[in-house]
Every structure is written in C-alpha cells, then in structure tokens.
Structure 1
C-alpha cells in the first residue's frame, strides 16, 4: 500500500481517534479507506444521475416543439380522469 499524508482539522482528527478508541474501527487508515469507498460510490451515483438527466434532456429535445396549455383546463382534465378511475 502507498502511504499518504493528509491534513485534518483538530475536530476531524479527534473524531477519527474517538472512532478507533470506541472500537468501531481498527485504525485511522480503515476509516479513511471507508470514507473513500463512500465517496467513490457517491461519485458513481452522480455520474449515473447525470447520464439520466442528459438522456431525458435529449429525449425532450427530440420530442419536438413545446405546446402552450391552459393550466386550469389541464388540471380540470386530470381531475375528471381521476374521478372516472374512482
């Protein structure tokens, strides 16, 4: 494994030490590795969400020009459809 030096605030260092002292982790390195795994997971989710947004945008553009609608009439139609379904 590669050794890496990082700087932490006193509060962060204390929280790491508390987690180790409390038995939740074997070492500070274990905590940092878990934090990096969580960060990588979040970045993967962010990339997937961005891909979905891009796809939705592309589909919206490909669907053609938008249309003006009367908001009140649209809501009335939705309510009537809901009432018909029961």
Structure 2
C-alpha cells in the first residue's frame, strides 16, 4: 500500500520490474492475513480443550436453530457469487467486443 502511494508521486516506478513483482508477491498477502487471523482466533479457543479441562464436543454452542443462520449465510454467499460471476462475465464480454 505504501509503495503504491509513493508511486503516485514517482510515476516512473510503475514501469519498473521490481514494482510489478512487488505487487505480484503482495497479491495473496490479504488472503494469508485473513486465514492467519482465523487460525489464531480458533487456536485461542482451544487451550482449555487441549489441556483436558473440557472436551471439544462440550465446547460446541448448544443454541437451537443455529443451522438456519448457516443456511442464510450460504444463500447470501451463493447470491453474491452468482452476481460477481455475472458482472465479471458482462465486463469480459464488453472488453472482448472492443
């Protein structure tokens, strides 16, 4: 992010190979950060379970009807996935027709 902000002033950087490689390498870093955060969060819940104080099956939320929120999120994500696919497909067709 900082390199890009600097490149706004120094436009010559945008033509350099190292600049393009930096963006290529940085592309998956957002996903890695997201997964690492999830990983740390989930491991943070486990110490008492690992140490034998509580079993994993006892740590599960006993709330009734929790599956309905799961189904709702799945419907939302499926709808968003279809929308993104449709929008990207439309954009690609427009670019190909130029």
The TM tier, using the shorter chain, reads 0.3 to 0.5
Whose helix proportion is higher, 1 or 2?
A: 2
Q: Normalising by structure 2, what TM-score?
A: 0.39
Higher relative contact order (CA 8 A, sep 6+): 1
